[in-house]
């Protein structure tokens, strides 16, 4: 399920306030990836709703 157009533009990483990148190539586990160079947290998207919680984010390897 694609995110609503424009929604991504108003979303920001809660940890560092960088823009988020939609990475839905894997449709089973869409994620929003923080574009912050020192951050890079990956936030899950559940039922089309981004979960922008640092506690829920997947940390980069
Ligand atoms: Zn970030």
The angle formed by the CA atoms of residues 26, 56 and 58, to the nearest 5 degrees, is 50
Q: Are 23 and 33 spatial neighbours (Cβ–Cβ below 8 Å)? A: yes
Is pLDDT larger for residue 12 or for residue 2?
12
pLDDT digits (tens, 9 = 90+) for 28-60: 778 999 999 999 999 998 888 899 999 999 998
Ligand 1 center to 28 CA (angstroms):
23
Ligand 1 center to 15 CA (angstroms):
5
Half-sphere exposure of 21 (CA within 13 A, CB side): 11
3-class SS letters over the chain: CCCCCCHHHHCECCCCCCEEEEECCCCCCCEEEECCCCCCCEEEEECCEECCCHHHCECCC
Give ion ligand 1 contacts, CB < 5 A. 13, 15-16, 18, 34, 36, 39
Q: What is the pTM of this model?
A: 0.80
């Amino acid at each position: 399920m694609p995110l609503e157009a424009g929604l991504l533009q108003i979303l920001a990483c809660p940890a560092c306030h960088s823009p988020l990148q939609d990475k839905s190539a894997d449709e089973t586990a869409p994620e929003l990836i923080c574009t912050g160079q020192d951050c890079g947290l990956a936030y899950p998207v559940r039922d089309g709703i981004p979960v922008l919680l640092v506690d829920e984010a997947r940390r980069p390897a």
